[in-house]
Amino acid sequence: MEVKASALKSIERRRALARLAGLGCLLAAGSAPAAGGAMTAVSGTPPAPPLALPDVDGKPMDLATYRGRLALVNFWATWCPPCRREFPSLGRVQKLFKPTDLAVLAVNVGEDAETIFSFTGHTDVAILLDRDSAAMGRWPVRGLPTTFIVDKQGRLALRAVGGRDFDDPAIVAAVRGLLKNEPKGSPACW
């Protein structure tokens, strides 16, 4: 009888460990960059909400100044594991395009410049400070990280919720496709 009880406990223990391992795999997969790196089209391509924030040096930045080029707007935080993993790819994608074609704006949510700099160090990506999350509240952000591609007319063209590698060929091709598109319909107000 004791042998059966011992065997049953061992089986239960193995099942519990297997369940925990499976849960760990699910959690790890959920925070990893999305497979394929695809971004989805934003239904109806609505006008991008206003975005005027200081950068890490205190200089005012405004999305409206990027009119006529694409803008990749990434909402992120240093405490967010998928944000930390995808951040280097923002700089890499910026280097693939001329500054007159694509601007990468990393909007940090709720942190101070010192915290951000201790993570990023020197970067070619413009980092904007949304200390009170007010700007994020005006955008259709569904968690961190959330990224948008704003087209040349100031409309939300593409969205990604969750981590991505922004230099992934699928995203680079989507950006190149948007660069080639001529304006359609009436221009949006930034």
Averages of pLDDT over runs of 10 residues in the chain (190 residues) are 51 37 32 61 97 96 96 98 97 97 98 95 94 97 97 97 97 96 44
List the 146-150 sheet strands across, edge first: 40-41, 156-161, 146-150, 70-76, 102-109, 126-130
The per-residue pLDDT for 181 is: 82
The per-residue pLDDT for 136 is: 97
Q: Is residue 182 exposed (0-12), middle (13-18) or buried (19+ Cβ within 10 Å)?
A: exposed
The per-residue pLDDT for 22 is: 31
The per-residue pLDDT for 6 is: 53
